Amino acid sequence: VSSAATDTLNTSQTIRDGGGTLISSGGIFELGFFSPGNSTNRYLGLWYKNLPVQTIVWVANRETPLAGRNGVLRVITPPGNLALFDGETSGTVIWSSNSSRPVQNPVAQLLDDGNIVVRDGGAGAAVWQSFDQPGDTYLPGMRVGRNFATGLETYIFSWKSADDPSP
């Protein structure tokens, strides 16, 4: 997927470290690989696209960095998860969205509010969303605290340091 191509990722596409990003349809947010501060570790993260200083608002693999530029993001089915692999073929799964239910035709989409969602066929209710796993940044539309209907608890956690996004 090239950086100008799309805001969606389906099962036939990948994003490789150094080989593209997702950009929300309005050009507000960008999802790709980065190294924070002076670190050489690599992370999959989300940032504001047009700010002069890269401002990370969400990190997928905060506690499990990639040691090199081997990261590959893809949508896998079954069950319909967005997954980050260390390596192109038969790589180790570093992070997964753990969708709430299996879907037949999963599509991941980066929205203009900064939420990354996985849906069946790209439509309908999200089976997973990044707003349910916030990082250190509150974005409008996020809900933090306890969801009494689902039992899900979401909290904001600061980075350990400018070089380490782990909580």
Which CATH number is 125's domain given?
Answer: 2.90.10.10
Position 121 in a domain: yes
In this structure, the chain runs to a length of 167
**Domain-located, residue 62:** yes
What pTM value is reported for the model?
0.92
Q: What's the mean pLDDT in 132-143?
A: 93
Residue carrying structure tokens 């996020």: 142
Q: What is the mean pLDDT of residues 143-159?
A: 90
Q: Residue 97 domain-assigned?
A: yes
Asked whether residue 166 is domain-assigned, the answer is no
pLDDT beyond 70 at 3: no
- Residue 143 falls inside a structural domain: yes
Phi, psi of 121 (to 5 degrees): 70, 10
Is 165 inside any structural domain? no
Encode pLDDT of 11-27 as tens digits: 999 999 998 999 999 99
Helix (H, G, I), strand (E, B) or coil at 57: strand
Across the range 53-58, mean pLDDT stands at 97
pLDDT of residue 150: 82
Residue 27 lies inside a defined structural domain of this protein: yes
162: in domain: no
Structure token digits, residue 6 = 């799309």
> Rounded to an integer, what distance in angstroms lies between the CA atom of residue 98 and that of residue 16?
20
Q: What is the mean pLDDT of the chain?
A: 92
Cα–Cα dist 82/76, whole Å: 6
Number of domains in the chain: 1
Domain containing residue 67: 8-154
The pLDDT of residue 88:
67
